Amino acid sequence: MNERYKDLLTAFTLPNGVELKNRIVMAPMTHYSSNPDGTVTDAEVKYYSRRSSGVSMVITACTHVTQDGQGFHGQFASYSDDFIPSLKRVANAIKEQGAKAVLQIYHGGKMSPPELVPNGEIVSASDVPAVNDGVEAKKPKPLTEAEAEEIIEAYGEATRRAIEAGYDGVEIHGANGYLIQQFFSGHSNRREDRFGGSLEKRMAFPLAVVDKVKSVVEKHGDASFIVGYRFSPEEPEEKGITMADTLALVDVLADKGLEYLHVSLGDFFSTARRGVEDLSKTRIEYLLEKIKNRVPLIGVGSIYTAEDAHKAFETGIPLLALGRELIIDPDWVQKVADGKEDEIVTEIDKEKQEELVVPDPLWSKIVNIPGWFPGV
């Protein structure tokens, strides 16, 4: 192994004592490849297995905790005990290759396509519609307090199912514009009850989900079960989340006894948009300063080469997630370990779907969306 990159592959111990064999994690990525009934397909299981031998931990694509929370076609579900055997297939595929298996749990909220939810009734914190490519989507129905409580309970039940299915942990998906973020955002949350209004009240739903998940782990799991939380640091809308809002949330989350926080970024080195004094500083720098080593932070965003990863680790980030790069080259970690980092592939090879073990629905999107993946 090249000495320059050895730190990438050193072991890391999470706050609960669980040891990760290295610092590289597979990021959660939607793959559109589950059965219409919400169970996993053979192609999905093989996709995970192919990418689980090098990384220390695999965070799955998001699974919806209620029937009305599905945000994509071809998504696997966690809203009923009927899905435990399906969930177990993915957990086993990951763990058999030596990585920790973490199930990402979420609710799509207003991002859910109406045709995927019962009676087409999408829900959110308030009736502010999503905007897709400049077009307003259907107005969501504002959740009552009781309905919001039911969804919080559903996160707990999905966590219990993850435990029963043999996962090593869950990641609460509070990022990418889905329901938890909709409650935290001043743009999408116009409520005047205990779940909305001030910044602190907009934190109430996300923090209630964290508390519920942790209480379920206490009851049904053990201290080795990993609970992480993913967040998006900013929103572009006028009343949307600012970097200052996120730093306030992260400050609270850092003391919640989580095993990690996971920022969702398209570019690891991106700078803050607003809400902080120095807009030349990266979001990662701000987050690490605020967290002050109270909880590990996972960084992510357009890391392709070993040198990219090395530069990212120079910021002091303890863990790094790779997403698209592990689809492009599932052997990334092994190549670094063997001193063959020069052989890492950084652009998708359109002739190698079979070799890369990528399911048809995901492959179709990769090769037909210009700019999403390098090489397309």
* Residue at token pair 């799991």: 221
Those residues of the chain that have pLDDT short of 70 are none
Residue 132's pLDDT is what? 83
Residue 133's pLDDT is what? 80
Q: Quick check: 171 and 190 in contact, CB under 8 A?
A: no
Spell out the alpha helix ranges (H) of the chain: 42-50, 84-95, 145-164, 179-184, 199-202, 204-220, 243-253, 283-291, 306-313, 324-328, 332-337, 353-356, 360-368
| Third-level CATH fold of 3-368 | TIM Barrel (3.20.20)
Q: Which of 48, 178, 229, 260 is catalytic?
A: 178
| Rounded Cα gap, residues 67 and 54, in angstroms | 34
Domain borders along the chain are 3-368
Length of the chain equals 376
Q: Model-level pTM?
A: 0.98
Task: Give yes or no: 178 in active site.
Answer: yes
DSSP-derived secondary structure letter, 63: E
**Residue 164 in 3-state DSSP?**
helix
